[in-house]
Structure 1
Amino acid sequence: MNSIPKISAPLIVFALGCLMPGCKTDNELRSEDKTLKPLIVKDSSYQHVGYVKVNAGRITEINKFQFELSNEESKKYLPEQFFDIAIVFESAKILPAKSPKLRGETNPDAGDYVLAYKEWEASKLFSPSAAAIKRSDLYTSDGKQIDDPAQRHNDPGRYSLTMNDELKLDISALKKAGKIVLMDIMPDHEDAGWNSFNTQQQAKKFALQVNEAINKYGWDGIDIDEEYAQYRKGPNFGSITRVLFELKNIWKEEDYRHPGKRLIIAKALFTDYDDFAKPVNMDGKDVMMADLLTYGWEMSYGGDPGYRLTDYLNQFGMQKYQLGLGIDFNINSTETGVATAQYVKDNKLKFVMYYDVRVSDSSKYQAVSNVFYSRRLQVTP
């Protein structure tokens, strides 16, 4: 005689329970969650831009800054997030094509300069795809290989032309949360930088590399940070304008990849008057850098806010809706951060930019947030 399988008591309770009115299956609950919309508590006149450090931790920590909901609100809404734009600091570098840091990975068609990615030894802590970094792959920032572990200083790391897998996932997570995510590109103590491109051919070859990275990793655009270059013959002013002009042309030609989407081009503004002051003639037209930029955030982190953007507004053709001021809580006090934010609000600028976003500074972000919003800012686990 066939035996009837026994059903345990807990399973019976579950089975009967799901027949009760109002019971929702897991799929129904997930579907219900998707219908929740963020409770909008921010003033859309302002945007908050956070620089997050790649390879210092998961950049998705920027998603932890949210506005608090009451118990009743949490039943109907999702919390709105504080940051609107995430810039992944040092996500890419400009290096000479024959740099010893590149381990022979240079594309021969790339030109004299390449877009390279840097992995720190510390990234092994959270990035399994970077765990293959070997001691022989480590260099000091001046390109010398490290033989003695005690010499590992000054951001030792491995350069390559391939980004780690975890960062690509994090970019996607930030975008799903509604953020614009920008690739920060900067020099690295070599004879190479944003002001290296003195011909249109050089500029286009580098712009092609930038565009390839945007398409491959899902960036919404780029952030230009012209620091640390050591030009042997001096910078070529007009170089940045050339690259941006070529990048925008490439983007237009590839509109089928991103119909209706705008390429975001932002710049860290600091000691760059010569880049803005003169037009560059391309395709028979005089082009100013201000005409090619979407946004700019001034990053001197000190002094009277009233003077920090004067030339950009009065001489270089930038508009208030393109501009913002930076705060760095590594060097700025909470009071300075609040004063900077108040200036942005009072003068109808668009942005506050925060360098090196850290959860441990949550009380300082709350103080700045209070300038704009009455809602409490919380940091989720």
Structure 2
Amino acid sequence: MHFLRLAILTLVGHLSMVLAKKGPITVAYVEVNSNSIDNTARYQLADGSNVFDIAIIFASNLHYNNSHATWYNNPNVQAILDKAAAEIKPLQQKGIKVLLSLLGGGTGKGIANFASAKEAAAFAKKAAYQVHTYGLDGVDFDDEYADYGSNGMPPANAQSFGWFLEALRKELPDKLITLYNIGPAAQYLSEGNATVGGMLNYSWNPYYGSFSPPAIPGLKKKQLGAAAIAIEGTAVDTAKKLATETLQQGYGVYLTYNLANGNQSDYVGAFAQVLYGQSTKYVPFP
């Protein structure tokens, strides 16, 4: 009887983890300097599935040391990573993918100015180290605030991000690689070929309150987020309108930014009702 009970509990737990809703995935960037990443697990649809499918820790920074690109986690980001068993694993067990985002660091060095494929590959190993060391589901890239060309660094170039993606996909063949569609990296990728762009899993619109699908060769509508909102910063009627457009036009991602501490279920529930046809409740976690 003990073994039967254990098997049943294991099966129930497994089913709860894989419970899938119909519709686009919803992504949440969380500013972890002031908010908790576990907020993404507190919003549940009526059928028990998660409102948020991907939680993004925002953000690490690209710095440089003697002209070599380095991956920097500020103390708040590093604290989450160091406590991955308590901060990341419970989200994953609930079925939420957890990604770490990389942002420019204002140092003149960015992901769009590696001088060679070898240099890009060296940084790809550093990105993969973050994923493997902390048990993440992937990485996200946001090519803002690099200040390309300052501090004696070279300007952005068209080959850099392509080299980097090719190297990173080899390092992370089964992980998520996503792009916030902004900056030179996004521009050059949109002008590139489908083989390189197809190494991404998803890309999304960076302009909150608007509907603007990324134009990246190699990505299908189901991999694109055309709608983007800032939670509580975008008017709720606009958030609902963008959710409707997402469904009507067949895009696979609905992007949100700044999921904050506290109960925001009225706002979250408004766009989730449109996307999934279900009510939203704010639940304890863990």
With structure 1 as the length reference, what TM-score do the two structures score?
0.65
Task: Determine the structure 2 residue equivalent to 1:195.
Answer: 112
Distance change (3 Å), C-alpha of 1:201 and 1:271? closer
Q: How does 1:333-348 map to 2 (within 5 A)?
A: 333-348=235-250
Q: 1:49 aligns with which of 16, 24, 27?
A: 27
Larger radius of gyration: 1
The separation in 1 between residues aligned to 2:84 and 2:107, in whole angstroms, is 25
Q: How does 1:1-381 map to 2 (within 5 A)?
A: 33-36=9-12, 37-38=15-16, 42-43=21-22, 45-68=23-46, 79-90=48-59, 92-98=60-66, 112-120=68-76, 164-167=81-84, 169-232=86-149, 233-251=154-172, 262-272=174-184, 274-279=187-192, 289-303=196-210, 305=211, 308-309=212-213, 312=215, 316-324=217-225, 325-358=227-260, 359-381=262-284
How far 1:41 sits from its partner (Å)?
A: 7.2
Identity of aligned residues (%): 22
Task: Determine the structure 2 residue equivalent to 1:126.
Answer: none
The separation in 1 between residues aligned to 2:89 and 2:181, in whole angstroms, is 27
How far 1:361 sits from its partner (Å)?
A: 2.4
Conservation of the 8 A alpha-carbon contact between 2:27 and 2:54: yes
Q: How many residues align structurally?
A: 274
For 2:250, what is the secondary structure of its paired residue?
coil
The separation in 2 between residues aligned to 1:57 and 1:351, in whole angstroms, is 23
Deviations 1:82-126 (A, max 9, x none): 111111110x2110125xxxxxxxxxxxx7110111015xx8xxx
For 2:101, what is the secondary structure of its paired residue?
strand
Conservation of the 8 A alpha-carbon contact between 1:237 and 1:275: yes
The separation in 2 between residues aligned to 1:28 and 1:288, in whole angstroms, is 49
The separation in 2 between residues aligned to 1:201 and 1:326, in whole angstroms, is 35
For 2:272, what is the secondary structure of its paired residue?
helix
Which deviates further from its counterpart, 220-229 or 317-326?
317-326
Deviations 1:240-283 (A, max 9, x none): 1111111122345xxxxxxxxx221110113555312444xxxx
With structure 2 as the length reference, what TM-score do the two structures score?
0.85
Equivalent residue letter for 1:50: A
The separation in 2 between residues aligned to 1:228 and 1:82, in whole angstroms, is 30
Conservation of the 8 A alpha-carbon contact between 1:67 and 1:82: yes
Equivalent residue letter for 1:185: L
Equivalent residue letter for 1:353: L
For 2:147, what is the secondary structure of its paired residue?
coil
Conservation of the 8 A alpha-carbon contact between 1:87 and 1:184: yes
- Flag structure 2 segments of 5+ consecutive residues without an equivalent: none
The separation in 2 between residues aligned to 1:204 and 1:220, in whole angstroms, is 20
Equivalent residue letter for 1:112: H
Distance change (3 Å), C-alpha of 1:239 and 1:41? closer
Deviations 1:332-371 (A, max 9, x none): 1001111111111000100101111134322111110111
The separation in 2 between residues aligned to 1:247 and 1:271, in whole angstroms, is 19
The separation in 1 between residues aligned to 2:7 and 2:218, in whole angstroms, is 48
Distance change (3 Å), C-alpha of 1:270 and 1:251? closer
How far 1:202 sits from its partner (Å)?
A: 0.8
The separation in 1 between residues aligned to 2:107 and 2:43, in whole angstroms, is 36
Conservation of the 8 A alpha-carbon contact between 2:99 and 2:140: yes
For 2:34, what is the secondary structure of its paired residue?
coil
Deviations 1:144-190 (A, max 9, x none): xxxxxxxxxxxxxxxxxxx7522453121111111221110111222
- Flag structure 1 segments of 5+ consecutive residues without an equivalent: 1-23, 70-78, 99-110, 124-128, 131-162, 253-261, 280-285
For 1:360, what is the secondary structure of its paired residue?
coil
Equivalent residue letter for 1:59: I
Conservation of the 8 A alpha-carbon contact between 1:186 and 1:194: no
Q: Which has the higher contact order (CA 8 A, sep 6+)?
A: 2
For 2:112, what is the secondary structure of its paired residue?
coil
For 1:96, what is the secondary structure of its paired residue?
strand
